[in-house]
Amino acid sequence: MNLKNTAGVVGCFCAALLLVACKTPAPPAEAEGTILYVGPAMADCVGVGPMTCLLVKDAHGDDYRMFYDPIEGFDYIPGYEYELRIEVTKRENVPADASALVYTLIEVVGKKKAGLAIDSTAWELSSYLSVSGTMDPRVEKSIVNMKIADGKVTGNAGANRFFGGCEVDGSSVRISATGSTMMMGTPEVMAQENQFLKLLQDSVDYLIVGEELRLRTGDGKVVLTLVPAIELGLTANVWQATGVNNGKGGVASILAGSEITAVFDADGTLSGNAGCNDYSGKYEEEGEMLKIGPVGQTRKLSNHPEGIMEQEANYLQALEQVSKYRIDGKVLELRSERGSLQVSFIQQEQE
């Protein structure tokens, strides 16, 4: 064998091996840090005192558990599920009542919408900070709700509908000066309405704890709590009128001691009591469009309370003007083609 040729072959073989080794990528280094999944809502918990905790888990299939410590560098926004990579280090010179570990965000690996969100849920008032400084429940049978969408807030404050601008940035919220209709309610409802509208404008951030929305002022004080509102349909409800167009360009509240009801059946029949007489007729619904009539009624007369027959005539005439409707929480509004309010209703409480 020619040794010179053999050496050449071996040299080429080694060079080929070296070339293959250069082209083969090295295995990726293992990512540093610990993966932690964070849920879309918080939970009430007790640490040194009452507080709210993040809900976290270590793997997709695990149950959420309470997490009592902050994660440095992590800006939590309710209504999202997060996959985080965090660094866990031991704290030196641990202060009293502090955790021995420090949690620091390395990166947000994933973030997706989940659960309730402030701007994709209709909310109903549960409690509010009263003028006396106590958290009071909503006035019984009053309708107070709000919905935030497309930079606007709308809703019912108790006696009046309201509207305004709204900016949501992360967990911060700013609601601008609101406008409203000009109807009057009971003194108790009006006091609640005024305070509710004031607190909306005072709020600067929010939490979602379980299924409860909590609006807070700049000092971290919760001033409004709201829960998801039940979205009703036109049918399968008894609607009780709260205001009727008087035919003179205004909407009058229902006379004390009287009641007007409406039931829209799925077969296209409308029936109810107009205050003194029962009535019935047909209706047609398509989208937000609504046409009512003709409507027939019984022929009873009454003068108790005073003005009831005039109110009844106004109500039946208002039904003929209806061309569209809107449901907001438990409130139904019937409007004319030009948008003027003809009749407002609330869902009648079931016994």
pLDDT tens, position by position, 177-191: 777 777 778 899 999
Measured distance CA(18)–CA(9) in Å, rounded: 14
pLDDT surpasses 80 at 29: no
Alpha helices in 212-341 (DSSP H): 308-321
Distance separating alpha carbons of residues 86 and 74, to the nearest angstrom: 10
Instruction: Tell me the two tokens of residue 324.
Output: 């569209």
Determine the residue type at 139. Answer: V
What class, spelled out in words, does domain 122-228 have in CATH?
mainly beta
pLDDT at 269 over 90: yes
Residue 53 CA, distance from chain mean position: 21
Single out the residue of 251, 233, 298, 245 nearest to residue 271, CA to CA.
298
Q: Say whether 238-347 and 122-228 share the same fold.
A: yes
Question: What distance in Å separates the CA atoms of residue 147 and residue 149, rounded to the nearest whole number?
Answer: 7
First to last CA, the chain: 109
Nearest to 318 by CA among 298, 296, 338, 334: 334
CATH number for 238-347 (one of 3.10.20.740, 1.10.10.10, 2.40.128.270, 1.50.10.20): it is 2.40.128.270
Average pLDDT, integer, range 110-137: 95
164 and 153 in contact (C-beta within 8 Å)?
yes
Q: Which residue has the higher pLDDT, 179 or 55?
A: 55
pLDDT value, residue 137: 97
pLDDT-above-70 percentage for the chain: 91
Where residue 119 falls (left for φ over 0; alpha for ψ -120 to 50; beta otherwise) is alpha
User: What average pLDDT does the segment 146-154 reach?
Assistant: 93
Of 8-12, 207-211, 236-240, where does mean pLDDT reach its minimum? Answer: 8-12
Per-residue pLDDT tens for 72-91?
A: 999 999 999 999 999 999 98
Q: How far apart are CA 268 and CA 264, in angstroms?
A: 7
Question: What integer is the mean pLDDT of 304-308?
Answer: 96
Q: Under a CB-based contact definition with an 8 Å cutoff, are residues 241 and 273 in contact?
A: no
Q: Where are the domains of the chain?
A: 34-113, 122-228, 238-347
Q: What pLDDT was estimated at residue 331?
A: 86
- Calculate ∠ Cα 342-346-351, nearest 5°: 145
